[in-house]
Amino acid sequence: MTRVKIFLFLLSFTAVGTLLEIYHPHYFTLLNVSTWNNFSTAFFSKTPSPHLIIVIPTNSTTTTKKPRLCFCENCLTEDQGLRKDRLDTFVEPLLSKNYKLSQDNYNWWRVSGSSAQTYHEVLERLFQLFPPVPDIAEPKSDKCRTCAVVGNSPRLRGANYGEIIDSKDVVIRINNGQVHGFEKDVGTKTTHRAMYPESAQNLDNSTHLLLFAFKMLDLQWLLEASTTGFNGRSYAPIISRINANKNLVMVVNPAFMRYVHDKWLARKASYPSTGIMTVVLALYICDEVHVFGFGADTKGHWSHYWEPQSKTPVNSVHPGSFEYSIIEQLDKQGRLKFHKGI
Note if 27 is an active site residue.
no
Determine the Cα–Cα distance for residues 341 and 118; give it in Å rounded to an integer.
44
What is the Cα–Cα distance from 296 to 323, expressed in whole angstroms? 11
Q: Which of 192, 290, 318, 339 is catalytic?
A: 318
Cα separation of 326 and 92, whole Å?
21
Phi/psi of residue 306, each to 5°?
A: -95, 0
End-to-end CA distance of the chain: 74
Neighbours of 298 (CB within 10 A): 10
| CA distance to 10, 46, 164, 319, 339, per residue, from 35 (Å) | 11, 19, 68, 84, 70
Q: Give the integer Cα–Cα distance in Å for 328 and 324.
A: 6
Catalytic residue among 196, 271, 305, 324, which?
271
CA angle 103, 105, 108 (to 5 degrees): 110
State the Cα–Cα distance between residues 42 and 37, nearest whole angstrom. Answer: 9
**Contact by Cβ (8 Å): 39, 17:** no
The CB density around residue 116, as the number of other CB atoms within 10 Å, is 12
Quickly count: other Cβ atoms within 10 Å of residue 129's Cβ.
12
Respond yes or no: is residue 318 known to be catalytic.
Answer: yes
Phi/psi of residue 247, nearest 5 degrees: -80, -5
Pairing mode, if any, of strands 54-55 and 208-211?
A: unpaired
Instruction: Give the active site residues.
Output: 271, 318
